[in-house]
Structure 1
Amino acid sequence: MSLNGFHRVYGSHPLHLLTLVAGFALFGYVIATVKPETLWNTNVWWQSIAVWFAAAIIAHDLVLFPIYALADRLLTANRRSVANVPVLNYIRVPALGAALTLVVFLPGIIEQGAPTYLAATGQTQEPFLGRWLLLTAAMFAASAIAFAIKLVLSHAKSTGPQKRTAHNAEPAD
């Protein structure tokens, strides 16, 4: 396979792939040498936070990023536009907002730590799911309204005011 073919299939230079493989090999070596149980220290709280942070980064880069990159690739494969107004960003922006708010409020939505939340606030976590769904619906509705406005403006711009041509102009007196 030529370098251009590799770049077309992989999306970057072969050195990028080599760097990733080396990084994962180093990470595997560290885990095998240090042993995972030493990474979880209940006496020193910040070490546990650092391990969770590193795990979140790895989970994002290895699991979540390929999923939403594939979803975006599927959306961009069929570039649709209605009356010369591209639809993609009117779907992409509220979907990103919905995903980010889901990640932020996921513990409340799945009612994780319900007894602690009840003891601290005197309230339950039941409204979290409904509020997230309403917020998501509002983001998509606002995007649909913005798309409709853009469609109307695009249609008005394309038709424009009817210009008088030379053959239908009134003769000057």
Structure 2
Amino acid sequence: MTAFRRRYGASPLHLLLVLASFALAAYAGVRLLKGDTLGVALWFVGAALLHDLVLLPLYAVTDRAAQHLFREVPEQGQPRASVNYVRVPLFVSGVLLLVWWPLILGRVDHYTAYTGLQADGFLARWLLITAALFVVSAAILVVRRWHESAPS
């Protein structure tokens, strides 16, 4: 066992789990490409181009603007750690929007037929979750600033 660990760098269980994950990924890839290989390939290329040419520059500009707004000392230009109290809830809200956008925007007609549940209310829930994320983030920021300013 120690010779295997020395040569491989981890336990045999690690190797078994890595091989199982590769097998699962291969199975998913075969199933995904079984129907419309060209359509799936075009979707991946389009998604990569959209992300790299449109979304990534938008992320960068937005982050630079947030860092500029939350500068500690204007002369030094160093961003405050408080910019993360905006980044994190915005990121989580964005991921939720990315995952649930058809339901949030009401673009799904067959949801009720498949699930038996109503498709309304997703926009209100997403807005409430987003507001709650920002409120919790602001509360944590206030508590941390209060502890920093308290005499020790």
Contact 1:108 1:125 in 2 (8 A): yes
Contact 1:107 1:113 in 2 (8 A): yes
Q: 1:142 — aligned with what?
A: 136
Contact 1:118 1:124 in 2 (8 A): yes
Name the amino acid aligned to 2:52. D
- CA RMSD for the aligned pairs? 2.0
Query: In structure 1, which of residues 17, 25, 45 is the aligned counterpart of residue 36 of structure 2?
Result: 45
Name the amino acid aligned to 1:45. D
Q: 2:95 — aligned with what?
A: 100
Query: In structure 2, which of residues 58, 62, 65 is the aligned counterpart of residue 74 of structure 1?
Result: 65
Where does the alignment leave 5 or more consecutive residues of structure 1 unmatched?
Answer: 1-42, 161-173
Closer, same or farther: CA 111–135 of 1 in aligned 2, 3 Å: same
Cα distance in 2 for partners of 1:138, 1:47 equals: 42
Cα distance in 2 for partners of 1:67, 1:93 equals: 17
Q: Structure 1: which 4+ aligned runs deviate by more than 4 Å? A: none
Q: CA deviation at 1:47?
A: 2.5
Name the amino acid aligned to 2:91. L
Cα distance in 1 for partners of 2:106, 2:64 equals: 33
Q: 1:132 — aligned with what?
A: 126
SS in 1 for 2:39: helix
Cα distance in 1 for partners of 2:70, 2:134 equals: 19
Cα distance in 2 for partners of 1:151, 1:81 equals: 13
Where does the alignment leave 5 or more consecutive residues of structure 2 unmatched?
Answer: 1-33, 74-79
Correspondence 1:119 to 2:116: no
Cα distance in 1 for partners of 2:129, 2:69 equals: 28
Post-superposition CA distance 1:35-72 (Å, at most 9, x none): xxxxxxxx942331221122111101111111111011
Query: In structure 2, which of residues 77, 83, 86 is the aligned counterpart of residue 88 of structure 1?
Result: 83
The number of residue pairs the alignment matches comes to 113
Q: CA deviation at 1:119?
A: 0.7
Cα distance in 2 for partners of 1:111, 1:46 equals: 29
Identity between Structure 1 and Structure 2 (%): 37
Contact 1:108 1:128 in 2 (8 A): yes
Report the TM-score, using the length of structure 2 for normalisation. 0.67
Q: CA deviation at 1:80?
A: 3.2
Correspondence 1:63 to 2:54: yes
Report the TM-score, using the length of structure 1 for normalisation. 0.59
Contact 1:81 1:87 in 2 (8 A): no
